[in-house]
């Protein structure tokens, strides 16, 4: 903490934060189950909070904490909120005893790597938005995680993220990803990866059940015609797509909606607007024109061959 004045979570402060008295797990008495220590102007958790073994909901947000080690062995915690602090590392979670924890929030901290969370076996919702994360190499997957928010970091690769077989929602908006290589999410339905320098969607097959895709503000080029074809063939359940601003969108111009709907016939929403009957009619007409052009091209080639 350098020259900063030591400001621990004293017992006097903690007493004002405790609430929600309930029967203890297993019976035998009553205890406080919630500690709302948000905005307490503390930079250290002190030695008192770890004595409250029956806490289930802990809110440490909007303080100046650099670590949360004092709460990692509170066995009944369901929710741990520590967003808007100064945490730089969560190596302590590798030794955590939080068997029932389902939700953690460490958004707006100062971490540079996504830590492994395998010790939190029932974890379902994780938020690490707006940190300084560049690597997910050590994460290694999670068996039951359902939502993962990594918006506004500096991630350059998803390699190492590992298998996430139960993940439904993944937010990667505003990172430095050139692709989604490393994505392994068999049940993912919502993928948000806008505002990344993406030049390829070749690894989108890592989310085969994706129905909502936000992929605007990228570097996908009109020089690669396979982009839309890949979305249509690799994501058969895709119904909502946001392409936003990118070279591909600019190149297609007024034909954008028809081109997209032609290749993704199940699409219901494009860039926030519902796909209309006119869009589908234009897509069908474009498809007929494309097929006729392809057939005509083949006939011309055959004619040229005969003349030769």
Check whether residue 80 and residue 26 sit in a common domain: yes
Q: What is the pLDDT of residue 254?
A: 87
Check whether residue 87 and residue 117 sit in a common domain: no
- Cβ atoms of residues 88 and 28 within 8 Å: no
Rg (alpha carbons) of the chain, rounded to whole number: 25
Does residue 246 lie in a domain region? yes
pTM of the model: 0.91
Does residue 78 lie in a domain region? yes
Final residue of a domain: which of 100, 120, 148?
100
The 3-state DSSP class for residue 61 equals coil
Q: What is the pLDDT of residue 226?
A: 77
pLDDT by residue, tens only, the chain of 308 residues: 556 799 999 999 999 999 999 999 888 899 999 999 999 999 999 999 999 999 999 999 999 999 999 999 999 999 999 999 999 999 998 889 999 999 999 999 999 999 999 999 999 999 999 999 999 999 999 999 999 999 999 999 999 999 999 999 999 999 999 999 999 999 999 999 999 999 889 899 999 999 999 999 999 876 655 788 899 999 999 999 999 888 888 888 888 999 999 999 999 999 999 999 999 999 999 999 988 888 876 555 454 555 54
The 3-state DSSP class for residue 221 equals coil
Place of tokens 């011309």: 300
Q: What is the pLDDT of residue 30?
A: 95
For the record, the structure tokens of 87 come out as 């945490």
- Cβ atoms of residues 237 and 213 within 8 Å: no
Does residue 55 lie in a domain region? yes
295 contacts: CB under 8 Å, gap ≥ 6 = none
Check whether residue 62 and residue 83 sit in a common domain: yes
Check whether residue 92 and residue 15 sit in a common domain: yes
Separation CA 227–CA 246 (nearest Å): 12
Check whether residue 74 and residue 120 sit in a common domain: no
Does residue 106 lie in a domain region? no
Final residue of a domain: which of 149, 180, 214?
214
Final residue of a domain: which of 100, 122, 137?
100
Does residue 65 lie in a domain region? yes
- Please state the length of the chain: 308
Q: What is the pLDDT of residue 94?
A: 86
Q: What is the pLDDT of residue 295?
A: 82
Separation CA 107–CA 83 (nearest Å): 5
CATH code, domain with 37: 3.80.10.10
Does residue 264 lie in a domain region? yes
Q: Which of 165, 164, 133, 166 is nearest to 150 (CA)?
A: 133
| Cα dihedral: 130, 156, 101, 8 (round 10) | -50
Does residue 268 lie in a domain region? yes
Number of domains in the chain: 3
- Residue 95 belongs to what domain range? 1-100
Place of tokens 């111009």: 253
């Amino acid at each position: 903490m350098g020259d900063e004045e030591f400001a621990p979570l004293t017992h006097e402060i903690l007493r004002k934060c405790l609430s929600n008295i309930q029967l203890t797990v297993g019976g035998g008495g009553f205890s406080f189950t919630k500690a709302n220590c948000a905005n307490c102007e503390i930079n250290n958790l002190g030695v008192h909070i770890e004595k409250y073994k029956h806490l289930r909901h802990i809110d440490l947000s909007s303080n100046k904490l650099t670590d949360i080690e004092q709460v990692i062995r509170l066995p009944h915690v369901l929710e741990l909120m520590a967003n808007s602090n100064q945490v730089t590392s969560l190596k302590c979670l590798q030794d955590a005893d939080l068997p029932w924890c389902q939700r953690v929030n460490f958004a707006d901290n100062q971490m540079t790597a996504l830590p492994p969370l395998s010790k939190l076996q029932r974890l379902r919702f994780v938020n690490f938005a707006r940190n300084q994360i560049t690597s997910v190499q050590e994460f290694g997957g999670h068996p039951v995680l359902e939502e993962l928010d990594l918006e506004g970091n500096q991630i350059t690769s998803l390699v190492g993220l590992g298998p996430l077989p139960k993940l439904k929602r993944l937010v990667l908006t505003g990172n430095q990803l050139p692709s989604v290589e490393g994505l392994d999410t068999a049940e993912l339905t919502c993928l948000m990866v806008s505002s990344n320098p993406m030049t390829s969607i070749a690894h989108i097959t890592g989310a085969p059940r994706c129905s909502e895709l936000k992929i605007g503000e990228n570097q996908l080029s009109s020089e690669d015609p396979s982009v839309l074809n890949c979305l249509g063939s690799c994501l058969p359940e895709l119904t909502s797509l946001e392409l936003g601003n990118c070279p591909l969108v600019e190149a297609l111009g007024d034909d954008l909606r028809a081109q997209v709907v032609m290749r993704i016939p199940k699409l219901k929403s494009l860039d926030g607007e519902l796909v209309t009957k006119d869009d589908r009619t234009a897509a069908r007409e474009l498809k007929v024109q494309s097929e006729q052009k392809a057939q005509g091209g083949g006939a011309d080639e055959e004619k040229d061959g005969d003349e030769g």
